[in-house]
Structure 1
Amino acid sequence: MSGQIQRSASIVIGANGATPSNSLSISPTTTVQSPLQIFVRAKKRINDIFGEVEIYIGDASKFFHALPQDSDLTSQEEVAVVDGHGEKIKGIREVLARDHMKVAFFGRTSNGKSTVINSMLRERILPSGIGHTTNCFIQVEGSENGESYLICEDSDERKNVKSVSQLAHSLCTDSLGDSSLVRVYWPTDKCPLLRDDVVLVDSPGIDVSPNLDSWIDRHCLDADVFVLVANSESTLMLTEKNFFFKVSARLSKPNVFVLNNRWDASANEPEYLEEVRKQHLLRTVDFLVDELKVCATRTEAEQRVFFVSAKEVLQARINEFKGVPINTGMVADGFHSRYFEFQDFERKFEECISKSAVRTKFDHHTKRGKAIVSDTRNVMEALLERASAKKATKGQSRREVLDHLDFTEKQLQLVTVEMKDKICKMVEEVEHKVSKALSDEIRRLSVLVDEFHAPFHSEPLVLQVYKKELHNHVEACLGSNLRARLSTALAMNMEQSQKEMTERVTSMLPAEKKQLGLGLIPRREPFEVLYRLNCDNLCADFTEDIEFRFSFGLTALMQRFMGRGKPAPWVINNYAESIPRPLGSQGGISAQIVPQGNDDWSVLSRIAIASITSQGTMGGLLLAGFMMKTVGWRLIFATGVVYGGLYLYERLTWTNKAKERTFKRQYVDHATRKLRLIVDLTSANCSHQVQQELSSTFARLCHLVDGTMNEMQNEIKQLEVELRALEEVATGAKVLRNKANYLVGELDRFDNSYLTRGE
């Protein structure tokens, strides 16, 4: 049963109540837990802990390598430290996996070292016999697969265990050197010691080799217990003492047990048994306490000295394995006491080696593990502090940007409302001023037309050129006059408004963009309103009437006395409709409205023609005769002479200049009417230009603010991403820090449970 060694003794009592030596038998009736299990449990526990430590260091290394390369949260030195810890933990785990309780047996040649080991293994495995038998170091350890084999040094070849006699026996020609090591793997079910991670090392005699220093360096520095097998037939030799002096110089207080073997020889001289025993015990205790100084008290040293017969114990255990009484064969008196003392040695040896191995094997690893985990924890703590501090800074920056963004949005809304009101007021003001100025200029249109000087002729082609130039003149003069009256004040108002607009908006921009915002306003030329009158198209339907008309003609008189206030015939012709339209054609010939009174005939001529051409000729003659009879022919003649003189005068004064004056007067009347129709349109157009200019400037400024707000929003998003990343880093660092605290606690509990419990 694993982890348990069955050791009990039952003495077969004879019929007479005596205890004959040949009836002694050992039967496994009581189960006692081996002290070696402390080491086994400690080894399993510390391996489990370091398994968690290895996973933890691996997680920490992955965590560091997952951080952005350009991050200032950690340094390359810290990453290198954590990666280095991973290699250290890996090495410690490999050592822990190989760690075992090592017992090294030393003594002079033929003192029975190999026999003692065979007795503990319960079978003859190592070569033993008369003389110098063991020629090299033999290490016996448990076989994991239950097989028995051996492996020579510097070789992986498995050999049969029977060949150990050839390899390790000094009498064989193929034997190895005295510093060589042969590993013998023996099934653990055949030896409870090997089951509990104990390794037994046999050595050549220390009195036949000069290589003691190399022995110690190669095979003794990691031993937990040293067993000096002495020959009880002689006293403790100087050779044995010198060897352990060398061991003590390299190891601090090695655990030494002394077996006085071949104590069965004392049965031949029973009268000197106690004296010899006391003599050996005294000298051995003096060596351990006073000379070697590995025991603090003599009582402690006495517990390390035993008087045994390994040969008897080996034979008894072989008999026990065969199922025969253990005392079968030639057995000297006092066998049972020597047998139980050997068992007592094994028990105390197990307690000592378990305690020593736990302390020597695991104490250093535990301290290194604490240092590694604590170092990693400190790195995580520093990382957590840096991540938390940076997170707080980023959070503050995010709040500041959010506040600035909110303030900018509200300010932009207020400025937008104010600027809209201001633009609307300015547009209304511009519209009013343009309307008033244009109306004033229309009233002065006759002056502008009179200022126009160009060759005038009634020929149609010349007249068309004259009208075109007159259109251009009127349009240019009106535009020039309007600009003279409005542009300066308008430009100043525009500049002031744009400046105020810029100052209000750029106050919301960061310092590096304020100059960019100010650069939107200064212009190479001041703003100027374009007055699009387009007189050429506006007066395209103007049709002049420069034919001669007698002022005292019948038509003129009738218009003067009967139609006062009505437009002139040429006006009727031009304004009958806003756009001249042809009348319907008859017989394919288009007819135009012929204005009344277009001819300048006198009344008499009209009467005469009417008399001749109409059917009322007789009526006209009768009317003429009636008038002559009534007023007299002299008065009629005088009136006709005067009337004719007036007609002749007007006819003679109807020159090209008179025609031009008439043309200009008609043009002024026509243009005045047309221009008054577009006063509202022109003023609205000018105000729209102003509105477009101001709105465009404000839009460009707002675009800068929008860009700044977009940048702030992007900055907020970037800060949120960084905050999430920092939160993940802080959380990860906190988890790893807490895991380090847990592992340090586990190592402390292991220390309290296994390392300091027995102190």
Structure 2
Amino acid sequence: MAESSLTWKPQDDPSREKKAFYRSSSVATVAGMPSHSLAVKPKPRESDPLRRFGEAKKRASDLFNRLENVLSRTLAIFRKSERSDEIAEVETFANQVKGIRDVIGRDSMKVVFFGRTSNGKSSCINAMLHQSILPSGIGHTTSCFCSVQGTDSPDAPYLLTSGSNERQNVETVQQLASSLQETSLQHESMVQVFWPRERCRLLKEDVELVDSPGIDISPDSDTWIDKICLDADVFVLVSNAESTLMTTEKQFFHKVSNRLSKPNVFILNNRWDASAGEDQETMRKVREQHLRKDKDFLVNELRVVEKTMAEDRVFFVSAKEVLQSRTEGFDSLTAEGSHDRLREFETFEKKFEACLSQSAISTKFKQHVINGRHISEKTEKMLINMKSTAEARKSQCKDALKDRHEEIAKIDRTRKNSQKEWEQKIMETTSGVHDLVKEALKTEIQRLRELVNGYSANPFSVNNLDTYNEGLCGHLESQFDQKMMASCNSSVSQLMRQAQQEMLCTVQSAIPQHLQMDTSNVVSSQDVVLCYELDFGEICARFQPDLKFKFSWGMTILRHWLGPQVVAGNAVPVETDAPSFALWMSQKITAQSVWPAITVGAAIWQTIGWKVAATLGLGLLCLYGYERLCWTTRVQENAFKEQFVGYTADKLGTVVTMKSRDCKQQVDRELIKSVSHLKGILGDALKQLDDDVSKLERDIDVSTELEKKANGHIFDMETFRSEFEKFSRNYLEEEE
């Protein structure tokens, strides 16, 4: 024991040097020999085992603090990798480590004192604390559980009671925990005394001492095990040396042994000072009897210690004398054998502290260290797996990135090279459309007479020519449009779709298959509707039919044969065709030769005579009458249609080229739209590929970062695993 642990006397005590000498020396007493007759030299104190617990606690706390920090950073990595299952597992590990860290921070070495009423449990605790803190005395003194633990609070010393956080003056422990007081608490209650650490070495080293009521005063002692004993490191059975172990004491510790695996039990045969003045031989036999029964109880009944170690768990002491020597001074011990009893109590303290430290380190840290090592190993495996995944992902992304760049280059080449090809294809297609429409229009113009002759919707009347002409124009427009659509639309649509399909194939060959591009609207699913509408009303707006009766041998015909004549000073153009003879005559006879012709006619009249001339005249008159009778509405309608066909056919010849060009332009616009759509598809494909490139580059960066950080944390976990193993070797295996 350190000197500071033996007394709290003032520093200016004049007998301090003398007391220190006696405290550092051991007095050996044998049967029949005075205790002061043999003195031994002071021995150097061995390393304090309680400090070992503090070192282990500090080391374990540091390990789990650092492990918590690393797990926090590791969790961020897993969250970035979006591995949901492993994220949940690492979160669980982080919470476990946080809980372990908090538990280690609160952990202390807990010692519980049990025994029958008035066996001196409180006195033993006071003796170990070097101060009379807990109530003690004759009879049933302690009424409830009392815990004494150290604190660094400036409010210390103070106490707390069960169910209350109010800090009370420590002096009230005498009223609260003493069964002699009316204000004492019930035996299942707990009074926690917080004492300044610097005043007691045990408390400074995180030792908590728990006093209990007598186990013979309550039938509910079984519940004490669950409330008090499950986390205890050492149990001290304080028995009365004036009697042997009682059944009550044995039964209680049997229950403790059944609930806990091999609890650490010390037996203090207190009040051994009663042997002072007794026959030494008798006391030796009594001691041997107590020792034999106590060892048998520990080894054979409880089976908590080996036989060779049992003697180190049984001690014969006087807590009253120890407390007296540590509060009043060493010289206050005058009873026979008191020095031996003091020395044996110190031996108990040494054995007790070694066992307490060993047990506390094992019970408080062993499972935590196992868990920490398991967490480190498991996390390390997950990090290795994540690193491998990141490496594989990075390799895949690099390969995919290379493919994307090649695909982008291919699309760029297609866009550049296809422009001229598409322009040429459009030119070829529209030229084909132009020729196709032109030929179809010519064919339909050749069928114009058939279409005109087939019109009979409105009755013909010279007086209602405008209505008839309007109906005929409408009929021709309808027939022309239907015939052109039937003969051209399908062929033109086929040409256009063929061109669209060829351009689409060029685009599809450039777009990678993994891109889902909508090309359904590029190739027209329906036939193109070309605009063939011919406004016959406008074409024939200046058509003026000549439906007056004309005698075949009349002056009009003669004028027609003879060419343009001057009639009343005006030139009248004749638009009807003349016989070939009349054409020859019109070319030979001019306006200047009319009078010679009349002269020739008069000569013929004189030559043939008037009879022949009259006969000819009568024949002409009959012919005139016949022709006049035959000039019916039907003939007039045929004449109208004939003139209409001739006029319209001539006008349509100038419209063919214009309409062919319009259809060509219409198809050109459709193909240009298709080209624009194809360019849009290529542009969308490039955008998707550019987005893929950006995403792949980000994935590569993320994978590289994950790989780098995983490497660092794998090393951290290897370090933690090594440190946990080192902790086990230094603190757990060594203790075992």
Q: 1:425 to 1:94 in 2, by over 3 A?
A: closer
User: SS at the partner of 2:150?
Assistant: strand
Structure 1 residue 36 displacement after superposition: 1.8
Partner of 1:43: 57
Q: Where in structure 2 are the equivalents of 1:99-248 lying within 5 Å?
A: 99-146=107-154, 147-206=156-215, 212-231=221-240, 240-248=249-257
Partner of 2:658: 681
Q: 1:44 to 1:665 in 2, by over 3 A?
A: same
Counterpart-to-counterpart distance in 1, 2:427 and 2:73? 68
Structure 1 residue 340 displacement after superposition: 4.2
User: SS at the partner of 1:138?
Assistant: strand
Asked if structure 2 preserves the Cα contact closer than 8 Å seen for 1:227 and 1:256, the reply is yes
Counterpart-to-counterpart distance in 2, 1:191 and 1:218? 26
Structure 1 residue 168 displacement after superposition: 3.4
What is the letter of the counterpart of residue 34 of structure 1? D
Q: 1:757 to 1:236 in 2, by over 3 A?
A: same
Asked if structure 2 preserves the Cα contact closer than 8 Å seen for 1:73 and 1:387, the reply is no
Asked if structure 2 preserves the Cα contact closer than 8 Å seen for 1:106 and 1:226, the reply is yes
Q: 1:463 to 1:600 in 2, by over 3 A?
A: farther
Asked if structure 2 preserves the Cα contact closer than 8 Å seen for 1:40 and 1:197, the reply is yes
Counterpart-to-counterpart distance in 2, 1:108 and 1:448? 135
Q: Where in structure 2 are the equivalents of 1:269-288 lying within 5 Å?
A: 272=281, 275=284, 281=291, 284-288=294-298
Structure 1 residue 103 displacement after superposition: 1.4
Could you report, residue by residue, the CA deviation over 1:118-161 in whole angstroms, capped at 9, with x for unpaired residues?
12211122233344433433222223424223333444444433
Counterpart-to-counterpart distance in 1, 2:264 and 2:410? 81
Structure 1 residue 360 displacement after superposition: 1.6
Moved more, 244-253 or 208-217: 208-217
What is the letter of the counterpart of residue 219 of structure 1? I
What is the letter of the counterpart of residue 538 of structure 2? N
Could you report, residue by residue, the CA deviation over 1:701-745 in whole angstroms, capped at 9, with x for unpaired residues?
x96996899699779969988998999899999969968887766
Structure 1 residue 356 displacement after superposition: 0.4
Counterpart-to-counterpart distance in 2, 1:664 and 1:174? 138
User: SS at the partner of 1:570?
Assistant: coil
Q: 1:750 to 1:536 in 2, by over 3 A?
A: same
Q: 1:262 to 1:569 in 2, by over 3 A?
A: same
Moved more, 266-275 or 729-738: 729-738
What is the letter of the counterpart of residue 49 of structure 2? P
User: SS at the partner of 1:127?
Assistant: coil
Partner of 1:622: none
Counterpart-to-counterpart distance in 2, 1:142 and 1:158? 15
Asked if structure 1 preserves the Cα contact closer than 8 Å seen for 2:390 and 2:706, the reply is no
RMSD, matched Cα:
6.7
User: SS at the partner of 1:303?
Assistant: helix
**Does residue 1:345 correspond to 2:345, yes or no?**
no
**Which among 314, 326, 339 is matched to residue 323 of structure 2?**
314
User: SS at the partner of 2:132?
Assistant: coil
Asked if structure 2 preserves the Cα contact closer than 8 Å seen for 1:553 and 1:602, the reply is no
Counterpart-to-counterpart distance in 2, 1:518 and 1:555? 62
Counterpart-to-counterpart distance in 2, 1:74 and 1:716? 32
Asked if structure 2 preserves the Cα contact closer than 8 Å seen for 1:148 and 1:187, the reply is yes
Q: Where in structure 2 are the equivalents of 1:592-607 lying within 5 Å?
A: 603=594
Counterpart-to-counterpart distance in 2, 1:133 and 1:474? 132
Asked if structure 2 preserves the Cα contact closer than 8 Å seen for 1:137 and 1:202, the reply is yes
Moved more, 95-104 or 653-662: 653-662
TM-score between both structures, scaled by the size of structure 2 = 0.65
Q: 1:156 to 1:22 in 2, by over 3 A?
A: farther
Counterpart-to-counterpart distance in 2, 1:555 and 1:103? 150
Counterpart-to-counterpart distance in 2, 1:649 and 1:463? 34
Counterpart-to-counterpart distance in 2, 1:23 and 1:150? 45
Which structure 2 segments of 5+ residues have no match?
8-15, 28-33, 566-570, 576-589
Partner of 2:260: 251
Structure 1 residue 193 displacement after superposition: 0.9
Counterpart-to-counterpart distance in 2, 1:438 and 1:751? 104
Which structure 1 segments of 5+ residues have no match?
320-325, 561-567, 573-598, 608-626
Could you report, residue by residue, the CA deviation over 1:648-695 in whole angstroms, capped at 9, with x for unpaired residues?
999996979699899999877765654443342233234445656x74
Q: 1:23 to 1:373 in 2, by over 3 A?
A: same
Structure 1 residue 357 displacement after superposition: 1.1
Structure 1 residue 353 displacement after superposition: 0.6
**Does residue 1:428 correspond to 2:431, yes or no?**
yes
Instruction: State the number of aligned residues.
Output: 671
Counterpart-to-counterpart distance in 2, 1:433 and 1:239? 122
Q: 1:650 to 1:248 in 2, by over 3 A?
A: same
Q: Where in structure 2 are the equivalents of 1:442-453 lying within 5 Å?
A: none
**Does residue 1:537 correspond to 2:545, yes or no?**
no
Q: 1:393 to 1:649 in 2, by over 3 A?
A: farther
Structure 1 residue 272 displacement after superposition: 4.2
Asked if structure 2 preserves the Cα contact closer than 8 Å seen for 1:148 and 1:161, the reply is yes
Partner of 1:615: none
Partner of 2:334: 331
Could you report, residue by residue, the CA deviation over 1:385-420 in whole angstroms, capped at 9, with x for unpaired residues?
999999999999999999999999999999998786
Identity of aligned pairs, percent?
A: 37
Q: Where in structure 2 are the equivalents of 1:515-530 lying within 5 Å?
A: 521=525
Counterpart-to-counterpart distance in 1, 2:386 and 2:500? 47
Q: 1:55 to 1:420 in 2, by over 3 A?
A: same
Structure 1 residue 753 displacement after superposition: 4.3
Asked if structure 1 preserves the Cα contact closer than 8 Å seen for 2:426 and 2:499, the reply is no
User: SS at the partner of 1:228?
Assistant: strand
What is the letter of the counterpart of residue 132 of structure 2? R
Q: 1:332 to 1:451 in 2, by over 3 A?
A: closer
Q: 1:681 to 1:306 in 2, by over 3 A?
A: same
Asked if structure 1 preserves the Cα contact closer than 8 Å seen for 2:429 and 2:499, the reply is no
Counterpart-to-counterpart distance in 2, 1:234 and 1:157? 42
Counterpart-to-counterpart distance in 2, 1:713 and 1:730? 25
Asked if structure 1 preserves the Cα contact closer than 8 Å seen for 2:6 and 2:326, the reply is no
Counterpart-to-counterpart distance in 1, 2:44 and 2:731? 26
Moved more, 29-38 or 438-447: 438-447
Partner of 1:359: 362
Asked if structure 2 preserves the Cα contact closer than 8 Å seen for 1:405 and 1:709, the reply is no
Counterpart-to-counterpart distance in 2, 1:666 and 1:73? 91
Q: Where in structure 2 are the equivalents of 1:681-720 lying within 5 Å?
A: 681-688=658-665, 695=671, 699=674
Asked if structure 1 preserves the Cα contact closer than 8 Å seen for 2:438 and 2:656, the reply is yes
Asked if structure 1 preserves the Cα contact closer than 8 Å seen for 2:299 and 2:307, the reply is yes
Asked if structure 2 preserves the Cα contact closer than 8 Å seen for 1:73 and 1:383, the reply is no
What is the letter of the counterpart of residue 315 of structure 1? Q
Counterpart-to-counterpart distance in 1, 2:563 and 2:186? 162
Asked if structure 1 preserves the Cα contact closer than 8 Å seen for 2:5 and 2:200, the reply is no
Q: 1:159 to 1:13 in 2, by over 3 A?
A: closer
Structure 1 residue 219 displacement after superposition: 3.0
What is the letter of the counterpart of residue 491 of structure 2? N
What is the letter of the counterpart of residue 570 of structure 1? P
Counterpart-to-counterpart distance in 2, 1:645 and 1:406? 101
